[in-house]
Structure 1
Amino acid sequence: MIDNRWLAYMLATDRRTMQPVTENLSYSAERLTQVWPTRFATIASAKPFARNPCKLANKVYGGRMGNTAPDDGWLYRGRGLPQITGKQNYEKFGIADAPEKAAEMPMAIRILFDGMIGGIFTGKKLADYFNQVDNDLVGARRIISTDKAKPIAG
């Protein structure tokens, strides 16, 4: 049985357009220092990656989340409704060989539901935060990651 709070939280997770999107990563050098301050401490360090989405994706996503090949950061950049990123996450949903499927509506919906209800993203699931005892809007962000918990709770 699906709790209405689960549906509300899933809809709030994709608070943009309710359409799957592909991360474009076309940032200015200034914006890179804001989005990834530990990777780009200065504008000078960000300039080589500014407005270069492929190079940026390989820098920020390469060598982690199962990305091991030289262009895996770009190939497995964020796509879908909840924006899965990294080869490991694409493998969890059986689409590592066709990552573009994450941006197709049927797969994007499956990823959203299975990931949040089944705990596929982090091992945490909606039932851990919304049940007969708990109604934890902020903590539920741990289902996907730890960022943006307060805006989604709102």
Structure 2
Amino acid sequence: MPKILMHRRTFCRLALPLGLSLLAGCGGGADNPFSILYTWIGINDLSYPKDESTNSEITIEARASSTGEISGGDIDWDLNRTSGHDISNLRKTLSDNNHKVTYRFTAPSDSGTIYFDIKVKAHGYSDTRSFSIDIR
């Protein structure tokens, strides 16, 4: 019966790729084989008017990317006015499997700057962006 000998150097060269292969195999069929190692969600696109007229309809759009254990049904969005005049008639529309959100609202009748935070969240992970719109 032949003996199989493995030199220490050969073992060390094979250990890292073998270990990574085993970790990738634990991904449960996800598109990203390293999803068990890295879960993330972030806002990668945010569009809004820099300034707008009083009483006009304002549209804010944002798009998020995610990795790991996050799927579209897990994603939620919040838009919070942090300072400035009140807004009215706020509506939220989700699309692209909740990765995209569109907010629409009516600008106040008084001029001034309104400050916002927009937040995307899922499974305890989140990303927030701050921005402002000048009402003239």
TM-score by length of 1: 0.23
Structure number with bigger Rg: 2
Q: Which has the higher contact order (CA 8 A, sep 6+)?
A: 2
The structure in which a higher percent of residues are helix is: 1
